[in-house]
Structure 1
Amino acid sequence: MFYATFFNMAARIGDFDFRKFRHILMTITISISVVVECVTADDADVEWGEHLLCRNCGHEVAKASDLINVPSPHALLQRNETIMGRDVLLQIFQNPGGLQFDLITTSSALVQSMNQKYPADTWFDNYTWRLVKCIRCQVHLGWCYEPGDKLQAKCHNCDKVNEAITEKMRFFGLILNRVIHQQYADSLVMSPKFYGG
């Protein structure tokens, strides 16, 4: 789009030298690739795609470092997948309505949890679940799992201790086809083709 707009503007000016235009574009392209290659590996992890994004709107949902493996005996199928350079346990679950979901688990996620907790029909024993949605577009991304009564510490007048334990033991089950790897999303952005003479 940029190239076409620039080309159209230059053509209207008159005395347009296509070879000079091509040389300028080649110089800009080389300069940009040199700058990109100078980014350190640490910066690349932070800047260039170590996030899972909401497939619907692109909101950053979780970091690669948040991926964890929480196996469940209720999974129909379990297999290891490489996601964002990490070995991740992918589990397939079926809800009571017959819908199946490919689930990965994370220690944290930037999502909105619904208020209602459900102890029934949980895929992870002794955990309650809540629906979670994308903060930006409100699409259902998965579930938040928190320890049920059996896992919470029993302490008289220690609500803060129970909250801390619940927070530490909380994890998220994200539906794999509702999120997308940031590097993959970035690769979908296409630059215009340049045809020269």
Structure 2
Amino acid sequence: MVFAAALLFIFLVCGGVTKFQDTNIRPGELTSSAIDYFLCRICGNDLSPVSTLMHIDCPASLKSRTTHQFGIKDIRIHTVQNSLHLKFDVIILKKAFCIGKGNWQSDFSWFPGYVWKVCVCAHCGQHIGWMFEPLHLATKDKIYPSKEGFYATIVSSIVNEIYADSLIVVPKHFTARSLTSDKLN
């Protein structure tokens, strides 16, 4: 019995099936076929492909910065403030799967010439951000922005899929150990 335990220990230490799975994925290591999505941070619902990121100037932002976020270089984040003096860090997306709530509003628009609606996750109802539509194209029956519209998405309300997946991947050594320890008992 001691001999078997010693053999198992040597097998595991010498790199048998206990190697850790590399979950630290870097953007340069992704293949062109890999597609990353932004997800709702609350429920994990797909919101938008990362490829829909846009760089739009936001004249009403308190500050704008280009930074490394979500594993993406050169992402532009705007800090905006609403009429209640609440501040939000937002990114701009061309497309998003969220539901517009209420009527189009023109007051306190961060983008001159655009009206806005609150945007919530289609799955859980979490406030994700706002959708913006050019004033001349906004009608009461329109619930999504046109091709000229966009979404200002709250950074703290989303997470990218590759990062989320890296948190939930079970390293291979856990399953190997649990199988091996079952055999010992």
TM-score by length of 1: 0.67
Matches within 5 A, 1:61-140: 61-83=47-69, 84-140=71-127
Higher strand share: 2
Give 2:149's match in structure 1, choosing from 167, 170, 173: 170
Aligned residue for 1:53? 39
Q: Which amino acid aligns with 2:31?
A: A
SS in 1 for 2:38: strand
Aligned residue for 1:42? 32
Kept in 2, the 8 Å contact 1:71–1:89? The answer is no
Which ranges in structure 2 are unaligned for 5 or more consecutive residues?
23-29
Q: Once superposed, which parts of structure 1, at least 4 consecutive aligned residues long, lie more than 2 Å away?
A: 17-20, 26-30, 82-86, 190-197
Matches within 5 A, 1:182-193: 182-189=161-168, 190-191=170-171, 193=174
The CA distance in 2 between the partners of 1:29 and 1:182, in whole Å, is 26
Which ranges in structure 1 are unaligned for 5 or more consecutive residues?
1-16, 34-39, 153-158
Higher RCO (C-alpha 8 Å, min separation 6): 2
Higher helix share: 1
Kept in 2, the 8 Å contact 1:76–1:91? The answer is yes
Structure 1 residue 136, shift from structure 2 partner: 0.9
Q: Which amino acid aligns with 2:47?
A: V
Structure 1 residue 188, shift from structure 2 partner: 1.4
1:92-114 deviations in whole A, cap 9, x for unaligned?
Answer: 01111111000000000011112
TM-score by length of 2: 0.71
